[in-house]
């Protein structure tokens, strides 16, 4: 099996958290900057969360590379809870330490990571060796945590909009490098 290169990306700055929220003006500029970043990087396939902010973040990359963006609902952001939680950051931190923790109307970290990793595993088992995946901060961090347990809440807090992690997968071994440093 060839070495696989996967670029796990977090979307650009958005106007909000709802699935229909679009990018801000700054976010739209970031999406163009992201496409510029990928100019010299080979991409054979782009898979994205169907959320508007994710699609708008990867569309310029797809246009530059004359590709279509495949939407996959499994890349949607994790729902921590469907009720308003004033202490949501504390609960989020706890959910990174206890992946089975599940809040009202929400999804556990383990459940979210499993669906995100399903997309990743299907992508790397396919014929493409250079794959871009656009998702959201919480889900992306949970996926990284499953690949390398040193990732967690602090890495989520340090993540930027956008952000890019390069996964190099060879013979079942995965190296992770954060390559976005803007």
Q: What are the DSSP calls for 2-36, one per residue?
A: PPEEEEEEE---BS-SSTT--B-HHHHHHHHHHHH
Return the structure tokens found at 150. 């040193």
CB 5 within 8 A of CB 166: yes
Region 116-126: what's the mean pLDDT?
97
Region 134-156: what's the mean pLDDT?
96
pLDDT tens-digit map of 40-73: 999 999 999 999 999 999 999 999 999 999 999 9
Longest dimension (CA), the chain: 48
The pTM score is 0.96
| Nearest residue to 88 via CA among 156, 166, 174 | 156
| Nearest residue to 139 via CA among 163, 164, 156, 160 | 156
Q: What angle do CA 78, 81, 85 make, to 5 degrees?
A: 125
CB 133 within 8 A of CB 147: no
Of the CA atoms within 13 Å of residue 154, those in its CB half-sphere come to: 3
Residue 181: what pLDDT?
Answer: 85
Domain 4-178 has CATH 3.40.50.9100: no
pLDDT tens-digit map of 14-45: 999 899 999 999 999 999 999 999 999 999 99
- Percent residues over pLDDT 70 in the chain: 99
Say whether pLDDT at 182 is over 80.
no
């Amino acid at each position: 099996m060839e070495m696989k290169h996967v670029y796990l990306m977090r979307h650009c700055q958005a106007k909000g958290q709802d699935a229909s929220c679009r990018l801000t003006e700054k976010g739209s500029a970031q999406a163009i900057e992201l496409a510029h970043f990928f100019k010299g990087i080979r991409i054979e396939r782009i898979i994205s969360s169907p959320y508007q902010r994710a699609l708008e973040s990867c569309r310029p990359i797809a246009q530059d590379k004359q590709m279509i963006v495949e939407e996959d609902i499994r890349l949607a952001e994790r729902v921590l809870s469907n009720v308003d939680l004033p202490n949501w950051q504390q609960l989020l931190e706890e959910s990174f330490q206890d992946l089975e923790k599940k809040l009202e109307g929400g999804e556990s970290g383990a459940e979210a990571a499993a669906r995100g990793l399903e997309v990743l595993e299907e992508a790397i088992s396919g014929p493409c060796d250079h794959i871009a995946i656009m998702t959201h901060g919480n889900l992306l961090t949970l996926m990284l945590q499953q690949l390398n347990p040193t990732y967690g809440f602090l890495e989520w807090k340090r993540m930027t909009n956008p952000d890019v992690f390069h996964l190099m997968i060879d013979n079942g071994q995965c190296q992770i490098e954060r390559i976005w440093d803007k």
